[in-house]
Amino acid sequence: MSKKRILVCLTGASGAIYGVRTIDRLVHLGHEVQLIVSRWGAETLKHETGLTTSDLRQRVTRVYDEGDLSAGPASGSYQLDAMVIVPCTMKTLAGIAHGYADNLISRAADCSLKERRRLVVVPRETPLNLIHIRNMGVLTEAGAIVIPACPAFWHKPSTIEEVVDSVVERVLYHLGVLDDRKVEWTGE
């Protein structure tokens, strides 16, 4: 598969490990990864994994500040193959659903939708109120792929990483960077 440029965004929802493993898999697959971590994404990343944005900077091609609205991804003309927000807060999801592009993450997502590019969103919240549910519906209608951080267990995972990867695998598949799924139900 040809090398793709993927924008990965981490926001302040629980489940920073989903974002970290998504980055690592994309890099391992040979793709160019660009990164934005929101302020609260950085806090949850540190709290849950002990990693900082600087640690992730070593693994990716480029890191943008979430406040830098003059950066490339703020324009639809910037060449990206796909974008993923993993994990995605209900706040960021609401901003995108309502076209309220007040930082580089929501603006880049807005551009992805208007340019009809792949946008994968991995929300993490429970329980869901009607506003959350409606906003996910709006994003789906607008063309985004909403993949809630709901791991599967039918492949009998034995580590946290295997649990996490059941979600990451779906994310990669929907980003269009996998030829086939590693975790596949074959019916046997």
Ligand X SMILES: Cc1cc2nc3c(=O)[nH]c(=O)nc-3n(C[C@H](O)[C@H](O)[C@H](O)COP(=O)(O)O)c2cc1C
Give the residues lining the site for ligand X (CB under 6 A). 11-14, 38, 40-41, 43-44, 47, 89-92, 124-125
Nearer to ligand X, 4 or 21 (CB): 21
Least Cβ distance, residue 176 to ligand X (angstroms): 25
Least Cβ distance, residue 13 to ligand X (angstroms): 4
Q: Are 84 and 108 in contact (CB under 8 A)?
A: no
Least Cβ distance, residue 178 to ligand X (angstroms): 26
Nearer to ligand X, 48 or 81 (CB): 48
Residue corresponding to tokens 């998504």: 22
Please identify the residue of the shown chain whose CB is closest to the bound ligand X. 12
Distance between the two ends of the chain, CA-based, in angstroms? 29
Nearer to ligand X, 145 or 149 (CB): 149
Classify residue 126 as exposed, middle or buried by CB count within 10 Å of its CB (0-12, 13-18, 19+).
Answer: exposed
Instruction: Read off the DSSP letter of residue 69.
Output: T
How far is it, in rounded angstroms, from Cα 139 to Cα 136? 5
Least Cβ distance, residue 126 to ligand X (angstroms): 8
